[in-house]
Amino acid sequence: MGVPKRQWIDGNLKTLCAGQKNGVVEVEVGTRCGQPTKVGLSTNRSNPPPPPPPPGGPNQGPPVVRQRRIQGPTSALTDFLASHNIDANRIRRDAEARRAAAQASWDAENSREQSEEAGLEEETPLEEKPLTKAQLARNKATQKAAAKAKASKTFQKAQRKGMDFSDSDDVDEDLYGASSLPKIGQFENCQICYIRFSVTPYSRTGPGGGLLCIKCTKDLDDEEGGPRKKRKTAARYNRRNIESERLEGTSARGARDLVSQCVSTLANNVHQAEDFGDLPPVLVDKLAQLLSKRRMLDSRTLDLFLKPGVANITAYDGAKLKSDDYIRIFQVAPTIKHLRLRNAIQFKEKVMDYLTASTVELESLSLHGANLIDDEHWTSFLMAKGTHLRSLKVYHTDVSFGDEAMRSIKDLCPNLTRLKICHNQKVTSAGLYHIASLKHLQHLSLELYKPTITEPYVEIITNLGANLKTLSLVGIPDLDDSLLSTIHTHCTSLSKLRLKRNETFTDAAFAALFTKWRNPALRIVDLGECRHVDSLTLDNPDRIGLCSAGFEALMAHSGRHLGSLNILSCRHIERAAFERVFGEGKTYPELETVDASFCGDMDDFVVGSLWRSCPKVKNLKVFGCFGVKDVRVPRGRNLLGNPNARGMMIEGEDE
């Protein structure tokens, strides 16, 4: 059959489907009436037949036929290439031609090398070298794997489908002597089981040069004694660990000390440890902190801390411990005196029942997150063990541990010296009055969620203020200046004062508290978030919260011995007050940590003055202080929260 042609026949453009025979082309032409007509045409190129006369006479030419060129939408890239005379089809044809030429040269070179190797083998046969033990073992393993693969159901199924798997030497030579491997993503037949699989970067090469499927690779690895282990690189102390220690305030200059390195190594290999031996309690506590930080404290690692005769047990993260694990603590160590558990979610009523019925005599108990114990069980426990308790700390108890438990503490814990109730949702102002009856109380910490009034706090300070050494009241938005006046009058032995999240204390009351106060200099002061929160009067005309006068009075009273200062969000302390407090000639030799976050007037000059006047400050927090931009930080100190792109960068030299 020839190529279809278009010619004028009887005045119409027709498609000719021609077949040549003996120099004459038979053409089937469709007419207007729809009846096919065969026309014989000569194929002699020298004397082509004249074209048929057009209809209407010989003087008239053929009618003009308009060709309809329909094109689809074109992209901007196509228009751009066309405007620069760039033809994509031509580029594609050139690329295909280059690839074809490269493939042809590659095939010619391979055929030449194969012919040369064949001639060389015929002329000089290779001398056989003795195989080593490793080669013999690999060959044996390959033969076993091949036999195992050929005996498998997959191989037999492939044979039933008609695949020719010959055991002859020619087939083995073809399979094992492959010189080139397929590319990643292509399909290849396994060298052993002949199953077709997709080549990946992890496909293993067989002894003969071919590739193996996943199943044969595993079998061969098992025969050779397992896969090759990746070489372990030395663990590096990366930037993330350094920044984590800075935020925790535990970073040190230079290399870590030997004790910290040993503790870290033991924590990394704790799964191999059977006992901590005679490690001192300080190192055991560091191990407990590190394991809890890594979420590695579970039933197995808990046994490392349990041994008869131990007096202190601390679990900083007991989220993975079960109720039976807590019971096992009292079974293995019945002589325990101090128990501290954080995230003790599974410390339930049955654990409290076992503790109440046991012979354990706890002197201090700290429970965090044990919110499944009702007031009745707390009362039973305090009735049985209350006389031995010296310290009781209860955190995050939700709707348990209410006023009834506070009454039990007053009646059943006469020797209690430390009481801490934080994140409590049930204790009310009525329950606070019972605390005033604890005559031996020296450390008090309260953080209640229910709104309370000032009167019970005033009564507590009036009755217990002379003996109190630490006082912490957090979340007290409605307490007024009468509490500060009571503290000034009755508290004469405080070393730590925390009054946090208050919206009614005035700057004048703070100044009066620290002026001519008979209490010795404080070591820890936390007055964070004592500020004015009314968005309608931003200027704070009533001077609500800790402002300039109160801050200067505080530093004048306790600055010489102050070790930790927190003035978080006290944004009404003016820049002039900072300059006077940390100005030239002022020195605070014991101050180590300062949190001045969200103090708007803190800037580069104030921070530089603070470095000079506080030689021992190691951690300074300035989150939200946008005036701190480009301050030089002495080496060995930490500036946390620097609000710029560099973050917490340490610069400068030693002072």
- DSSP states of 294-361 as a string? TT--SHHHHTTT--TT--EEEES--TT--HHHHHHHHHH-TT--EEEESS-TT--HHHHHHHHHSS--
| DSSP H helical ranges for 506-651 | 507-514, 548-558, 575-581, 604-613
pLDDT over 80 (residue 82) = no
Closest alpha carbon to 511 in 530, 496, 529, 493: 530
Closest alpha carbon to 366 in 344, 349, 345, 350: 344
Least confident of 216-225, 443-452, 467-476, 502-511: 216-225
Three-state DSSP class for residue 553: helix
Mean pLDDT over 330-356 rounds to 94
User: For residue 362, how far is the Cα from the chain centroid?
Assistant: 39
pTM above 0.75, yes or no: no
β-strands 36-42, 24-30 pairing: antiparallel
Predicted confidence (pLDDT) per residue in 266-304, tens digit: 888 888 888 888 888 889 999 999 999 889 999 999 999
Query: What's the pLDDT score for residue 37?
Result: 45
Predicted confidence (pLDDT) per residue in 541-591, tens digit: 899 999 999 999 999 999 999 999 999 999 999 999 999 999 998 999 999
User: Which band of pLDDT confidence, cut at 50, 70 and 90, is reported for residue 24?
Assistant: very low
User: Which band of pLDDT confidence, cut at 50, 70 and 90, is reported for residue 473?
Assistant: very high
Q: What value does the mean pLDDT of the chain take? A: 80
Query: What's the pLDDT score for residue 187?
Result: 85
Mean pLDDT over 51-78 rounds to 56
Three-state DSSP class for residue 128: coil
Tokens of 540: 């704070």
Least confident of 13-17, 270-274, 416-420: 13-17
pLDDT over 80 (residue 57) = no
Query: What's the pLDDT score for residue 554?
Result: 97
**Ramachandran category for residue 295: left, alpha or beta (phi over 0 → left; psi -120 to 50 → alpha):** left
Single-letter amino acid, residue 38: K
pLDDT over 50 (residue 623) = yes
Least confident of 124-138, 267-281, 602-616: 124-138
**Phi, psi of 108, deg, nearest 5:** -65, -40
- DSSP states of 618-646 as a string? -EEE-TT-TB--S----TT-EEE---STT
Least confident of 221-230, 262-271, 317-326, 485-494: 221-230
User: Which band of pLDDT confidence, cut at 50, 70 and 90, is reported for residue 16?
Assistant: very low
Least confident of 78-87, 326-335, 403-412, 417-426: 78-87
Least confident of 306-310, 354-358, 509-513: 306-310
Write the CA distances from 387 to 297, 354, 464, integer angstroms. Answer: 32, 18, 20
